[in-house]
């Protein structure tokens, strides 16, 4: 069933049952639906704070996945983690109740907005979506927001606004962003990733191109002119195109770039003319590109320069994106979500510019397939720190059918040590860290808990 058909169904009084309602992306979706007068029920595997909040609002939430939970529903919306063998999904289909993915529901809802800004890319999505959020808030657009990480400005990863603007972080995994309906589609970069779903780079590029082609004739595609894979993916596209970059000729670029204590200061030029001067509070060359992407998207939506400057300069970083967690034994501890070699390269390049005596990097690989697919690249990047501490691979959705281990990486990386558990990793960092060090806890798994333990005040 199409997104347009779902749009027709989402009327006040309709009963929508959400499978996995307490999840980081499903929970805000439930609020969006309720704001439209839709009757919402749901299920989840555990009693979380989100579930308790919904119950306090009078929403019926069942703990566990029981077939009878879908009774009386007009439609079911499921989290990506709820597969076809889920008892609720099986029961819904047996009863003829239509089942939709979360991304399809968001795609149907975003057609109500004048501006639907969707930020995609292999890397940098959360940071750039957060920058766009700051700009839209500075412009007083009262936006609805969906981010893949927590943003201090919001105190969470989402916001339900009353304006005509929605801003969403948009992921290519399983082609989920192809259910969205962007009026402005940002593509930050295109690289090989999620090779458990995609077969090759060409398939990934085609996915991003299809995403860009969802933009209407009066919308815009905002693309990185410096990224060859993005340029190739969009070659000959018949949509209005706005480019940003530092190396290649682009519609939006940075001039007079300087750094103060690692933080970029620069002028933004739009179509060759001065637009504004920006002083970022987040380090690294990559954040200049992220800021250019956000500024270009903002101008496509008609936002003026003063709000762009306020938004970018007030952005201090998103949770787990080079996030300062505190000090331990005189060392500065930062946490980062990087889990792809390209992200590691950017992170370590930024860290190397900051003037610390030593860089100590604790890394937890994320999924067995990614570790195998990019093994040599991980070895190359993780050989850069003064000391690398490798925790065992975080499996996420996978089972280890190949026997791959972080120990295999350690065997190839100079100055690397292996830690099987969080406790071992914490103990190793406590023994290594000293004044003048930069300690990084890195990965998309559970290693961020070590950063919290190291910097906890007792």
326 Rama sector, left if φ>0, alpha if ψ -120 to 50, beta otherwise = left
- b/e per residue 403-441 (b: at least 16 CB within 10 A): ebbbebbbeebeebebbeebebbbebbeebbeeebbbbb
Q: Which residue is catalytic, options 41, 79, 122, 126? A: 126
Q: At 133, phi and psi to the nearest 5?
A: -60, -50
169 is catalytic: yes
Q: Which residue is catalytic, options 169, 192, 323, 392? A: 169
401 is catalytic: no
125 is catalytic: yes
3-state DSSP of the chain: CCHHHHHHHCCCCCEEEEECCCCCCHHHHHHHHHHCCCEEEEEECCCCHHHHHHHHCCCEEEECCCHHHHCCCCEEEECCCCCCCCHHHHHHHHCCCCEEEHHHHHHHHHCCCCEEEEEECCCCHHHHHHHHHHHHHHCCCCCEEEEEEEECCCCEEEECCCCCEEEEECCCHHHHHHHCCCCEEEECCCCCCCCCCCCCHHHHHHHHHHHHCCCCCCCEEEEECCCHHHHHHCCCCCCCEEEECCCCCCCEEEEEEEEECCEEEEEEEECCEEEEEEECCCCCHHHHHHHHHHHHHHHHCCCCHHHHHHHHHHCCCCCCCCEEEEEECCEEEEEECCCCHHHHHHHHHHHHCCCCCEEEEEECCECHHHHHHCHHHHHHHHCCCCEEEEECCECCCCCCCCCCCHHHHHCCCCCEEEECCHHHHHHHHHHHCCCCEEEEEECCCCCHHHHHHHHCCC
Q: Which residues are catalytic?
A: 125-126, 169
């Amino acid at each position: 069933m199409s997104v347009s058909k779902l749009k027709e169904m989402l009327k006040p009084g309709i009963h929508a049952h959400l499978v996995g309602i307490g999840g980081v992306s499903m929970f805000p979706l439930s609020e969006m639906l309720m704001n439209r007068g839709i009757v919402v029920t749901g299920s989840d595997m555990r009693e979380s704070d989100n579930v308790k909040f919904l119950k306090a609002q009078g929403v019926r939430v069942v703990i566990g996945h029981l077939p009878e939970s879908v009774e009386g529903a007009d439609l079911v919306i499921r989290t990506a983690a709820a597969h076809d063998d889920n008892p609720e999904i099986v029961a819904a289909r047996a009863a003829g109740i239509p089942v939709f993915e979360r991304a399809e529901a968001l795609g149907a809802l975003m057609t109500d907005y004048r501006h639907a800004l969707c930020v995609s890319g292999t890397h940098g999505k959360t940071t750039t979506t957060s920058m766009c959020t700051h700009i839209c808030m500075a412009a007083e657009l009262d936006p609805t927001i969906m981010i893949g990480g927590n943003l201090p400005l919001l105190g969470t990863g989402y916001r339900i606004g009353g304006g005509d603007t929605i801003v969403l972080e948009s992921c290519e995994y399983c082609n989920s962003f192809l259910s969205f309906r962007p009026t402005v589609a940002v593509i930050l970069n295109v690289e090989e990733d999620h090779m458990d779903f995609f077969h090759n780079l060409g398939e990934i590029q085609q996915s991003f191109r299809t995403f860009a082609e969802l933009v209407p004739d009066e919308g815009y595609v905002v693309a990185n002119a410096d990224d060859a894979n993005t340029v190739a993916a969009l070659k000959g596209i018949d949509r209005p195109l706005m480019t940003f970059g530092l190396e290649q000729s682009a519609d939006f670029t940075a001039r007079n770039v300087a750094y103060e204590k690692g933080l970029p200061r620069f002028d933004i030029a739009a179509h060759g003319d001065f637009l504004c001067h920006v002083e970022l509070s987040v380090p690294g060359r990559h954040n200049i590109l992220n800021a250019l992407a956000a500024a270009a998207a903002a101008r496509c939506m008609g936002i003026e320069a003063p709000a762009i400057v306020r938004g970018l300069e007030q952005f201090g970083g998103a949770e787990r994106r080079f996030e300062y967690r505190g000090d331990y034994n005189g060392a500065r501890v930062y946490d980062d979500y990087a889990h792809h070699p390209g992200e590691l390269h950017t992170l370590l390049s930024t860290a190397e510019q900051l003037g610390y005596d030593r860089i100590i990097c604790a890394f937890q690989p994320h999924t067995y397939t990614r570790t195998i697919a990019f093994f040599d690249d991980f070895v190359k990047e993780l050989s850069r720190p003064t000391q690398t501490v490798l925790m065992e691979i975080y499996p996420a959705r996978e089972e280890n059918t190949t026997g791959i281990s972080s120990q295999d990486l350690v065997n190839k990386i100079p100055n690397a040590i292996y830690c099987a558990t969080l406790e071992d990793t914490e103990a190793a960092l406590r023994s290594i860290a000293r004044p003048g060090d930069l300690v990084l806890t890195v990965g998309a798994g559970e290693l961020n808990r070590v950063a919290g333990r190291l910097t906890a005040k007792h």
